[in-house]
């Protein structure tokens, strides 16, 4: 064809074509989209205290629902109850819990990963708050103090549980993933040093702020209570006494004389409890533990725990429930009773309560040889449970009595029993005879396998796994 | 900046034509006359709708119902007649005024098939790129409800796996292997009638649990029988014009259009049955109880403890239940009704069709999938042939009702064969005194999804002057999904004493709307032996996704759970609005010389809102070339049996932005839980604003050969795709607070492979014909480089030189004849088998080859179609998912009877254990993570069998009637040890064996 036409034809049209394209393309801002409506940018969150409180709400809700403090079947109250000698598993459909019962927890178990992952996830959230609040230009100094104090407390609180479950662990103090992705494990003493540092800082920052009357948020006294527990675990007896005495003396909290009201929401004994998700909700503990008809669908208390209650112990009357099918009777933790929502919330999961401080005082004094005061603190707790006072005990028997008391006071609460057995060096002696799967190395859970695969600096795995 | 790029590229493309044509002048046209005539087939029947053009002029027409035509042409002009299914005919007018033409049916395999390449069309013979086409005739033969199912085994280089046998579930598709280390970023781009279609689900993860593989597939909303063709674009030449979204290939779906001619009514009815094709051979009650007793004895536990209800006498030890039959062994019923009306004249054609499809599930209870669809297509061309418009609209509604829990299959495999009755004598769920959790309790909860999809498209075209056309492609899609998951209190054991106040429901509504505007200019012209085809266009695409989910609980009655207002409390768990904007400039220049040499340039500049401000734009481009050497005289003389020969190749780039919206922002999201009446705000992700596009460089070389008039047609293709700048969620240890962060990794992934296709017409008689098609793909996936892999978080997932899809596992050394426990290779020799040090065995989980074999036999009025699909691969076996230990409270395949019993036993399975023995539990867990649990998952499957009989033909009887019998997944040959080698899962319902009977009537 007439190829010659092209010279006249093409330039004319190409110019028009290009003009059109260039005209249309000049709007580069076409790609500017609105920010997502369901998300806030980091800067906005730290502009005012209400949104930072919402960031804390996430942490507390996680602790209530998924973290190791949850009353559900993923939490320490339940898992470590089986791992030690408090709970007997009846369900055939909870193979993960069976591994705790048998002390055959494996590094690949999801429950282990969950404890670890949610723990460090919350540490990140706390660090993000620490960094965001510190650099915020619009929060007042008072607000900053309260928010930072709470965040330091959370960081310490979570690491404290992690170190007791997993042994040597990394202590995470930044949100920088480049740094956190290949951290190594710290010696126990180092971890405790950081925990103590964070708690002292938290106390200092929280000292000025008013306590939360519902005790849904950790405050100065909560930080002090954890510090007392940390000193006790480290066998730093005098410091433990100092912290606990201050709480008894100045906090204004008191033991609840009504044994059936200790776990109610307004109990004067509570230092910190996890508030409900929705008005009228009660605790996950009640949902997990309370048995309506036998045989138990999940778990029941072990006979050995039942046997450890002295005759006439009010705690057995008030805090242990029972159910029977006519021939057999099963017992269950009945500290929390409302397993379905009520008109208004009756019970919340208590994380710290004053009775612990009495028993810390008893134990630490006994360790230092102050047997008189020790006995007095112990008898206060016994007296409340309608038990006769003890007298004339030597140091060893007194220490033993304190441990016995802790067992029946804190059963099915936050894994106290297991941690007590561990820190007092009695785990092998107590558990080996009654649990065929128990080995000395079971004092620690395994580091999750997925974690070791991603970060070889965490090697070696805990002994025995 | 990119204006300069644009200018430069067009300049470079076009400059050569200016240079060679520096002379001006005009040629006088001879006088025009009207030429008329008729077109018939070889038996003399008039052919309507034959396309007729005057060569080298833009004049054309279509023959009418009587096969007549008339056209203005010069006496020396040449007429070209063409029609799908017939050989094109070139007839010089030679001064005649009447031309009678007989067209011969095209029996060759290749024909003059015109392929849809998205922005343009190209003939099969002249294409430079890798484009595969599956036509309606093959899609219709299969009783399927998802168009992707139709591609399985039919297309080389495309690997498709059904994720589950549940109606409505997803398919996994990979075109030429996995390019991205990011596992969720290997989806191709779907385009339906020119409109991009988002294939990710709108489901709420908390509500779509029962469907494995990412919930309800939106593609399930496309009715397979409305599809005219599916084209798959694979290489750079075909995909570069899709730029940032073409890296994983493009799937183009074209719906049916009306044809000119008498109005045609088609009605199709189909009904059938489906069942699972395979069950795992599990232990019977005596065998099972013996295993349990032996396990307790091995663990030294005596007496049998109170919680071992199955073997301590609590449960009846004489019961036996085949739980697989009970829990997912029901018959699925399938009904399908189609109807369509089509017709039109030379200028206007229409097609309207409707369909109804219903399929019930294999679970006990009332679960089903209902689909209704409507398609309307309208095409119009102005009388002067300057303007044309094509409108198409599809609407479909898809309702799926499934059990609220996806674990029924796993339950069926694991339940003890002597587990209690499902119902008590009173007909209520039996909980056997709280000693088991009744699997049917899960059916108390339901999952319902209700999806609606609208896809509308308009394509306008106007011929400005000879050779120059302006067109616009306009599209709008709407996708709605409503989901409801109910978890009534009755799923719990009544021993918990829980009433409806603890029941909860998740309500989810999602909608996605998107539009696309694509103005384009096309310029086609011939300069002597050179034919030039060009295209330049722009794309503006916007997409808005909104989703809202509510968690509702505290009901007074379980019957009211689908009503939000009956809940005493409710709170939102998701309220998401996402916007996505996309902008592009693209062009194509195609040069054909003597219909023998072809060169194809394509390019695209893309901008996407998914990246941070500095990383938004990127350029992609490709060059393709083809040489039809069979047109050379020396070939024609030297190799007369060679009817077609073409060598082609291409090289270019495309990209991928499949990362999700807003990922570059540092944000906090609202959680689902409250505290002190405040909704928690959590950090959404670790943020990195600097990630950018993943780039894929594709190279391809192919040879196509046709022998004996193309009765034997063979093609072989080699491809090599390299993906760099990997955009991944880099996995992180939990100490960072997150499991991953988005970043570009300087790693290279390579996919190479060979694709072979062989199509033969074995016999081609009047009453008997037989043709065969075979496709075979030999893919290879390899991680080429990964700087500092050892020090990265991928160290235990990837190995350089190995495929991405591998598993690093322990190496099993079998069962120690002394201890009766599994033993593994201690790679680091420290005396302890531990992870990751001893997980050094690399198992390749990619197929080593796959393909399909089709056979079509026509004997008189019978037609017989068969498709075999085959894959050679290794995959997760029965124990890989980490089942309950062999000897624990779970049934096991009969193969475990070959277990260790006494010293000296040389057997494949270790001694039974209840899990109470730490060593046995550990060894079993390691076994599940060893090469021994990964098994051969190769299979050959008779995917489709279709037998049809033409009872009446429209041409003779005035109406047509075809009867057919079709089967899907009829036969599977495999050595796989689990339920199904394709799903390789203990949780998914295996693909069903479906047989249907149907008829198609044409009036």
Structural tokens at position B637:
């003389």
Q: Which of A81-95, A335-349, B567-581 has the lowest mean pLDDT?
A: B567-581
- Residues of B within 8 A of A25 (CB-CB) are 2-3, 6, 538, 583, 585
What's the rounded mean pLDDT across residues A41-49? 86
Nearest chain B residue to A124 by CA: give it. Answer: B737
- If DSSP codes are grouped into helix, strand and coil, which group holds residue A209? coil
- Residues of B within 8 A of A103 (CB-CB) are 918
- Residues of A within 8 A of B676 (CB-CB) are 53, 57, 60, 214, 216-217, 275
Q: How far, in Å, CA of B393 to CA of B474, rounded? A: 12
- What is the tens place of the pLDDT at every residue in B103-146? 876 654 444 688 888 899 898 888 999 999 999 988 888 888 88
Strand partners, B555: B567
Q: Where are the beta strands (DSSP E) in B917-991?
A: 934-936, 939-952, 960-974
Structural tokens at position B686:
């670790």
- Residues of A within 8 A of B585 (CB-CB) are 21, 25
Q: How far, in Å, CA of A406 to CA of A412, rounded? A: 11
Put simply, whether A449 touches B (Cβ < 8 Å) is yes
Q: Among partner residues A3, A31, A177, which is closest to B21 by beta-carbon distance?
A: A3
B17: confidence class by pLDDT, cuts 50, 70, 90? very low
What's the rounded mean pLDDT across residues B644-665? 88
Q: Are B215 and B171 in contact (CB under 8 A)?
A: no
Confidence at residue B503, expressed as pLDDT on a 0 to 100 scale: 87
Q: How far, in Å, CA of A340 to CA of A336, rounded? A: 11
Q: How far, in Å, CA of B152 to CA of B155, rounded? A: 7
Residue B257: burial class (beta carbons within 10 Å; 0-12, 13-18, 19+): middle
Nearest chain A residue to B796 by CA: give it. Answer: A453
Q: How far, in Å, CA of B913 to CA of B56, rounded? A: 83
Q: How far, in Å, CA of A97 to CA of B207, rounded? A: 26
- Residues of B within 8 A of A45 (CB-CB) are 668, 681
Q: Are A260 and A199 in contact (CB under 8 A)?
A: no
Q: How far is B778 from chain A (nearest CA, A)?
A: 32
Q: How far, in Å, CA of B657 to CA of B187, rounded? A: 11
- Residues of B within 8 A of A59 (CB-CB) are 680
Chain B 677-696, residues with CB within 8 Å of chain A CB atoms = 677-684, 686-687
Confidence at residue B208, expressed as pLDDT on a 0 to 100 scale: 56
Q: How far, in Å, CA of B427 to CA of B432, rounded? A: 13
Decide if B682 and A278 are in contact by the 8 Å CB cutoff.
no
pLDDT exceeds cutoff 50 at B22: no
Which of A26, A66, A453, A465 to probe the B interface (max B CBs under 10 A)? A453
What's the rounded mean pLDDT across residues B22-26? 39
Who contacts B222 (Cβ-Cβ below 8 Å, separation ≥6)?
A: B146, B147, B192, B253, B394, B396, B453
Give me the interface pTM, i.e. the ipTM: 0.88
What's the rounded mean pLDDT across residues A448-459? 90
Q: Are A103 and A79 in contact (CB under 8 A)?
A: no
Decide if A275 and B675 are in contact by the 8 Å CB cutoff.
yes
Q: How far, in Å, CA of B853 to CA of B719, rounded? A: 22
Q: Among partner residues A36, A93, A461, which is closest to B834 by beta-carbon distance?
A: A461
pLDDT exceeds cutoff 70 at B685: yes
Q: Where are the beta strands (DSSP E) in B556-677?
A: 567-593, 597-608, 617-628, 642-656, 667-675
Decide if A341 and B433 are in contact by the 8 Å CB cutoff.
no
A36: confidence class by pLDDT, cuts 50, 70, 90? confident
B8: confidence class by pLDDT, cuts 50, 70, 90? very low
Put simply, whether B78 touches A (Cβ < 8 Å) is no
A16: confidence class by pLDDT, cuts 50, 70, 90? low
Which of B520, B669, B675 to probe the A interface (max A CBs under 10 A)? B675
A8: confidence class by pLDDT, cuts 50, 70, 90? low
* Chain A to chain B Cβ contacts (< 8 Å): 324
Confidence at residue B27, expressed as pLDDT on a 0 to 100 scale: 44
Q: Are B835 and A107 in contact (CB under 8 A)?
A: yes
Put simply, whether A15 touches B (Cβ < 8 Å) is no
Confidence at residue A295, expressed as pLDDT on a 0 to 100 scale: 82
Q: Which of A230-234, A344-348, B466-470 has the lowest mean pLDDT?
A: B466-470
Phi, psi angles (nearest 5°) of residue A160: -60, -45
Confidence at residue B178, expressed as pLDDT on a 0 to 100 scale: 92
Put simply, whether A351 touches B (Cβ < 8 Å) is no
Confidence at residue B887, expressed as pLDDT on a 0 to 100 scale: 92
Q: How far is B819 from chain A (nearest CA, A)?
A: 18
Put simply, whether B825 touches A (Cβ < 8 Å) is no
Decide if A454 and B502 are in contact by the 8 Å CB cutoff.
no
Q: Are A399 and A366 in contact (CB under 8 A)?
A: yes
If DSSP states are collapsed to H, E and C, what string results for A348-367? CEEEEEHHHHHHHHHHHHHH
Put simply, whether A29 touches B (Cβ < 8 Å) is no
- What is the tens place of the pLDDT at every residue in A358-378? 999 999 999 999 999 999 999
Residue B112: burial class (beta carbons within 10 Å; 0-12, 13-18, 19+): middle
- What is the tens place of the pLDDT at every residue in B176-216? 999 988 877 788 999 999 899 887 777 776 655 556 555 56
Put simply, whether B834 touches A (Cβ < 8 Å) is yes
Put simply, whether B888 touches A (Cβ < 8 Å) is yes
Residue of B246, B23, B19, B7 lying closest to B118 (CA atoms): B246
- What is the tens place of the pLDDT at every residue in B814-837? 999 999 999 999 998 888 888 888
Structural tokens at position B565:
């207002």
Confidence at residue B560, expressed as pLDDT on a 0 to 100 scale: 86
Q: Among partner residues B18, B585, B669, which is closest to A38 by beta-carbon distance?
A: B669
A150: confidence class by pLDDT, cuts 50, 70, 90? very high
pLDDT exceeds cutoff 60 at B18: no
Q: How far, in Å, CA of B173 to CA of B147, rounded? A: 12
Q: How far, in Å, CA of B197 to CA of B227, rounded? A: 15
Query: Percent of chain B beyond pLDDT 70?
Result: 94
Confidence at residue A203, expressed as pLDDT on a 0 to 100 scale: 96
Q: How far, in Å, CA of B173 to CA of B505, rounded? A: 33
Residue B569: burial class (beta carbons within 10 Å; 0-12, 13-18, 19+): middle
Q: Are A314 and A366 in contact (CB under 8 A)?
A: no
Q: Among partner residues A17, A32, A451, which is closest to B734 by beta-carbon distance?
A: A451
pTM of the model: 0.78
Query: Percent of chain B beyond pLDDT 90?
Result: 49
Nearest chain A residue to B521 by CA: give it. Answer: A17
Structural tokens at position B636:
């024609």
| B498 HSE (CA, 13 A, CB side) | 25
Nearest chain B residue to A215 by CA: give it. Answer: B676
Find which of A124-133, B526-535, B946-955 is predicted with most confidence, using mean pLDDT: A124-133
B562: confidence class by pLDDT, cuts 50, 70, 90? confident
Who contacts B638 (Cβ-Cβ below 8 Å, separation ≥6)?
A: none
Confidence at residue B210, expressed as pLDDT on a 0 to 100 scale: 56
Confidence at residue B205, expressed as pLDDT on a 0 to 100 scale: 65
Residue of B46, B222, B200 lying closest to B136 (CA atoms): B222
- Residues of B within 8 A of A106 (CB-CB) are 921-922, 925
Residue of B796, B646, B666, B697 lying closest to B240 (CA atoms): B697
Nearest chain B residue to A16 by CA: give it. Answer: B521
Q: How far, in Å, CA of A334 to CA of A340, rounded? A: 14
Structural tokens at position A168:
């040597």
Q: How far, in Å, CA of B482 to CA of A295, rounded? A: 40
Q: How far, in Å, CA of B170 to CA of B988, rounded? A: 11
Put simply, whether B523 touches A (Cβ < 8 Å) is yes
Decide if A4 and B21 are in contact by the 8 Å CB cutoff.
yes
Confidence at residue B207, expressed as pLDDT on a 0 to 100 scale: 59
A423: confidence class by pLDDT, cuts 50, 70, 90? very high
The radius of gyration of chain A from alpha carbons, rounded to an integer in Å, stands at 28
Decide if A95 and B884 are in contact by the 8 Å CB cutoff.
yes
β B617-628/B597-608 pair status: antiparallel
Put simply, whether B22 touches A (Cβ < 8 Å) is yes
Element housing B769 (H / E): strand B768-785
Q: How far, in Å, CA of A402 to CA of B494, rounded? A: 40
- What is the tens place of the pLDDT at every residue in B382-437? 988 899 999 999 999 999 888 877 788 999 999 999 999 999 998 889 988 888 88
Residue of B810, B819, B811 lying closest to B907 (CA atoms): B819
Q: How far is B510 from chain A (nearest CA, A)?
A: 14
Q: Are B496 and A297 in contact (CB under 8 A)?
A: yes
Decide if A340 and B301 are in contact by the 8 Å CB cutoff.
no
Confidence at residue A1, expressed as pLDDT on a 0 to 100 scale: 42
pLDDT exceeds cutoff 50 at B1: no
- Residues of A within 8 A of B922 (CB-CB) are 104, 106
Q: How far, in Å, CA of A4 to CA of B822, rounded? A: 83
B85: confidence class by pLDDT, cuts 50, 70, 90? low
């Amino acid at each position: 064809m007439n190829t010659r036409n092209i010279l006249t034809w093409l330039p004319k049209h190409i110019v028009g074509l290009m003009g059109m394209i260039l005209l249309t393309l000049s709007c580069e801002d076409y790609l500017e989209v609105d920010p997502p409506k369901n998300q806030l940018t980091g800067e906005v969150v730290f502009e005012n205290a209400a949104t930072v409180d919402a960031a804390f709400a996430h942490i507390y809700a996680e602790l209530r629902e998924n973290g190791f403090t949850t009353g559900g079947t993923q939490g320490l109250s339940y898992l470590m109850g089986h791992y030690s000698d408090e709970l007997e598993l009846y369900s055939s459909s909870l193979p993960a819990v069976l591994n705790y019962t048998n002390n055959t927890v494996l590094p690949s178990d999801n429950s282990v990963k969950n404890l670890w992952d949610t723990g460090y996830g919350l540490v990140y959230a706390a660090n993000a708050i620490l960094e965001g609040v510190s650099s915020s230009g619009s929060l007042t100094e008072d607000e900053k103090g309260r928010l930072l104090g709470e965040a330091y407390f959370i960081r310490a609180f979570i690491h404290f549980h992690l170190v007791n479950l997993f042994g040597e662990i990394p202590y995470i103090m930044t949100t920088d993933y480049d740094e956190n992705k290949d951290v190594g494990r710290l010696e126990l003493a180092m971890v405790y040093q950081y925990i103590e540092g964070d708690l002292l800082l938290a106390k200092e920052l929280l000292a000025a702020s008013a306590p939360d009357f519902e005790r849904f948020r950790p405050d100065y006294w909560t930080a002090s209570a954890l510090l007392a527990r940390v000193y006790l675990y480290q066998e730093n007896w005098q410091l433990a006494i100092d912290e606990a005495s201050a709480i008894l003396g100045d906090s204004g909290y008191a033991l609840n004389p009504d044994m059936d009201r200790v776990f109610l929401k307004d109990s004067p004994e509570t230092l910190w409890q996890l508030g409900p998700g929705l008005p009228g909700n009660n605790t996950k503990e009640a949902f997990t533990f309370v048995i309506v008809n036998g045989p138990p669908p999940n778990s029941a208390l072990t006979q050995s725990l039942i046997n450890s209650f002295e005759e006439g112990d009010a705690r057995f009357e008030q805090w242990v429930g029972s159910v029977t099918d006519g021939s057999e009777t099963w017992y269950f933790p009945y500290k929390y009773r409302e397993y379905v929502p009520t008109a208004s919330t009756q019970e919340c999961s208590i994380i710290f309560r004053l009775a612990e401080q009495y028993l810390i005082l008893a134990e630490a004094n006994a360790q230092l040889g102050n047997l008189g005061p020790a006995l007095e603190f112990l008898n206060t707790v016994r007296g409340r449970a309608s038990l006769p006072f003890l007298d004339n005990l030597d140091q060893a028997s007194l220490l033993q009595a304190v441990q016995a008391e802790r067992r029946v006071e804190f059963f099915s609460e936050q894994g106290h029993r297991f941690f007590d057995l561990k820190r007092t060096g009695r785990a092998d002696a107590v558990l080996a005879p009654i649990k065929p799967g128990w080995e000395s190395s079971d004092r620690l859970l395994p580091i999750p396998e997925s974690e070791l695969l991603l970060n070889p600096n965490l090697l070696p795995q805990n002994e025995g796994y | 900046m990119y204006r300069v790029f644009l200018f430069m590229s067009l300049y470079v493309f076009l400059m050569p034509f200016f240079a060679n044509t520096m002379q001006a002048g005009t040629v006088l046209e001879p006088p025009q006359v009207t030429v008329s005539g008729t077109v018939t087939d070889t038996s003399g029947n008039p052919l309507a709708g034959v396309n007729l053009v005057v060569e080298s002029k833009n004049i054309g027409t279509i023959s009418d119902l009587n096969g007549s035509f008339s056209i203005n042409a010069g006496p020396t002009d040449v007429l070209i007649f063409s029609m799908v299914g017939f050989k094109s005919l070139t007839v010089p007018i030679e001064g005649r005024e009447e031309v009678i033409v007989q067209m011969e049916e095209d029996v060759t395999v290749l024909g003059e098939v015109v392929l849809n390449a998205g922005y343009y069309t190209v003939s099969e013979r002249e294409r430079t790129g890798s484009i595969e086409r599956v036509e309606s005739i093959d899609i219709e033969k299969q009783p399927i409800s998802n168009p992707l199912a139709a591609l399985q085994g039919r297309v080389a280089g495309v690997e498709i796996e059904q994720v589950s046998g549940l109606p409505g579930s997803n398919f996994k598709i990979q075109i030429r292997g996995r390019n991205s280390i990011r596992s969720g970023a290997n989806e191709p781009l779907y385009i339906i009638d020119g409109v991009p279609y988002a294939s990710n689900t709108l489901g709420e993860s908390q509500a779509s649990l029962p469907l494995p593989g990412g919930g309800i597939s939106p593609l399930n909303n496309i009715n397979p029988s409305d599809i005219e063709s599916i084209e798959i674009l694979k290489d750079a030449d075909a995909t570069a014009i899709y730029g940032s979204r073409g890296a994983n290939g493009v799937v183009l779906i074209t719906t049916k259009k009306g044809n000119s001619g008498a109005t045609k009514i088609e009605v199709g009815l189909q009904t059938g049955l489906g069942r699972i094709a395979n069950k795992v051979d599990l232990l019977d009650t005596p065998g099972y109880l013996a295993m349990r007793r032996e396990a307790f004895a091995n663990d030294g536990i005596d007496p049998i403890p109170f919680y071992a209800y199955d073997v301590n006498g609590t449960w009846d030890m004489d019961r036996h239940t085949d739980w697989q039959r009970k829990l997912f062994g029901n018959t699925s019923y399938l009904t399908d009704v189609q109807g369509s009306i089509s017709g039109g004249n030379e200028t206007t054609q229409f097609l309207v069709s409707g369909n109804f499809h219903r399929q019930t599930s294999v679970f006990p209870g009332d679960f089903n999938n209902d689909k209704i669809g409507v398609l309307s297509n309208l095409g119009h061309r102005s009388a002067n042939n300057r303007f044309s418009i094509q409108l198409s609209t599809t609407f479909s509604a898809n309702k799926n009702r499934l059990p609220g829990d996806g674990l029924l299959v796993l339950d069926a495999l694991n339940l003890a064969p002597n587990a209690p009755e499902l119902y008590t004598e009173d007909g209520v769920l039996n909980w056997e005194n709280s000693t088991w959790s009744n699997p049917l309790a899960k059916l108390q909860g339901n999952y319902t999804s209700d999806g609606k999809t609208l896809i509308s498209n308009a394509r306008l075209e106007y011929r400005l002057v000879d050779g120059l056309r302006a067109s616009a492609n306009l599209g709008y899609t709407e996708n709605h999904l409503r989901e409801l998951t109910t978890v009534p209190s009755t799923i719990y054991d009544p021993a918990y004493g829980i009433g409806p106040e603890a029941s909860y429901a998740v309500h989810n509504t999602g909608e996605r709307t998107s539009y696309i505007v694509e103005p384009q200019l096309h310029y086609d012209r011939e300069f002597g032996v050179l034919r030039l085809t060009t295209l330049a266009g722009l794309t503006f695409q916007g997409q808005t996704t909104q989703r809202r989910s509510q968690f509702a609980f505290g009901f007074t009655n379980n019957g009211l759970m689908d009503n939000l207002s009956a809940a005493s409390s409710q709170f939102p768990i998701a309220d998401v609005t996402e916007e996505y904007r996309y902008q592009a400039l693209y062009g194509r220049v195609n040069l054909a010389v003597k219909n023998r040499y072809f060169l194809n340039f394509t390019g695209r500049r893309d901008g996407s809102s998914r990246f941070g401000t500095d990383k938004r734009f990127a350029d992609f481009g490709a060059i393709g070339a083809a040489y039809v050497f069979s047109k050379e005289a020396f070939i024609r003389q030297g190799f007369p049996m060679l009817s077609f020969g073409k060598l082609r190749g291409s090289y270019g780039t495309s990209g991928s932005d499949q990362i999700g919206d807003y990922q570059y922002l540092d944000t906090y999201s609202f959680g689902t839980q409250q505290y002190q009446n405040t909704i928690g705000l959590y950090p959404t992700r670790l943020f990195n604003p600097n990630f950018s596009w993943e780039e894929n460089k594709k190279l391809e070389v192919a040879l196509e050969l046709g022998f004996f008039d193309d009765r034997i047609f063979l093609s072989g293709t080699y491809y090599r795709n390299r993906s760099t700048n990997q955009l991944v969620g880099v996995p992180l240890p939990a100490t960072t607070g997150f499991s991953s962060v988005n970043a570009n990794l300087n790693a290279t992934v390579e996919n190479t492979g060979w694709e072979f296709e062989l199509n033969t017409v074995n016999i081609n008689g009047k009453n008997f014909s037989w043709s065969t098609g075979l496709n075979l793909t030999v893919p290879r996936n390899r991680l080429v480089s990964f700087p500092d892999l050892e020090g990265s978080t991928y160290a235990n997932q990837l190995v350089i030189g190995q495929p991405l899809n591998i598993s690093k596992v322990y190496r099993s050394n079998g069962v120690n004849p002394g201890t009766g426990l599994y033993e593994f290779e201690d790679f680091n020799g420290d005396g302890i088998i531990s992870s990751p040090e001893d997980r050094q065995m690399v198992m390749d989980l990619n197929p080593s080859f796959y393909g399909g074999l089709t056979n079509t036999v026509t004997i008189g009025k019978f037609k017989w179609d068969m498709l075999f699909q085959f894959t050679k691969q290794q995959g997760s076996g029965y124990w890989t998912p980490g089942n309950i230990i062999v000897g624990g409270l779970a049934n096991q395949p009969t193969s475990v009877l070959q277990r260790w019993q006494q010293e000296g036993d040389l057997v494949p399975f270790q001694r039974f254990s209840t899990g109470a023995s730490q060593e046995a539990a550990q060894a079993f867990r390691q076994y599940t993570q060893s090469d021994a649990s990964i098994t051969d998952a190769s299979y050959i499957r008779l995917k489709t069998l279709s037998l049809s009989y033409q009872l009446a033909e429209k041409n003779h009887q005035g109406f047509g009637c075809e009867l057919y019998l079709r089967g899907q997944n009829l036969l599977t040959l495999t050595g796989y040890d689990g339920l199904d080698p394709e799903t390789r899962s203990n949780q998914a319902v295996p693909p069903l064996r479906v047989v249907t009977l149907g008829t198609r009537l044409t009036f």
